């Protein structure tokens, strides 16, 4: 995944912004669409906070991404071979870690989605019988 300067993200039209975040929110482009309206972002931390807030809001405040939970999860996925990480330098010279989903990660995501569907279907069947 190539590093895109924050200034370029802020300057892009909505379609360009959504496309630029495609690797980050590949299966949930609505997140990028929601964030597009919140620009300009003054820093990557502000973009990250907005991403977490969007997930929390759209889930009707059920899902919350805690500040300290994202990077440990990404590290575990990297160790499993599901994501590939790379150190990059942004336009201000600050080092940042970029993540990209691997083929094994796409396969694991499909398996997890299937497992999730089975679990939620089972819970729904139990709730309907009570």
What domains lie within the chain, and their CATH numbers?
Answer: 1-67 (no CATH), 69-130 (1.10.10.10)
pLDDT tens readout for residues 38-92? 888 887 778 888 888 888 888 888 888 776 777 788 888 899 998 888 887 777 7
Global pTM? 0.56
Count how many Cα atoms sit within 13 Å of the Cα of residue 53 in the half-sphere of its side chain. Answer: 9
Q: Helices 70-80 and 103-129 meet at what angle, rounded to 10?
A: 120
- Asked whether the beta carbons of 17 and 35 are under 8 A apart, the reply is yes
């Amino acid at each position: 995944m190539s590093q895109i300067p924050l200034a370029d993200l802020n300057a892009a039209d909505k379609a360009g912004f959504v496309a630029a975040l495609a690797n980050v929110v590949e299966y949930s482009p609505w997140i990028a669409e929601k964030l597009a309206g919140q620009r300009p972002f003054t820093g990557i931390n502000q973009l990250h906070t907005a991403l977490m807030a969007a997930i929390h809001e759209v889930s009707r405040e059920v899902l919350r991404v805690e500040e300290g939970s994202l990077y440990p999860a990404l590290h575990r996925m990297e160790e499993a071979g599901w994501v590939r990480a790379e150190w990059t330098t942004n336009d201000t010279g600050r080092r940042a870690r970029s993540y990209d989903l691997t083929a094994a990660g796409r396969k694991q995501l499909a398996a997890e989605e299937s497992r999730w569907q089975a679990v939620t279907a089972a819970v729904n069947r139990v709730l309907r019988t009570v």
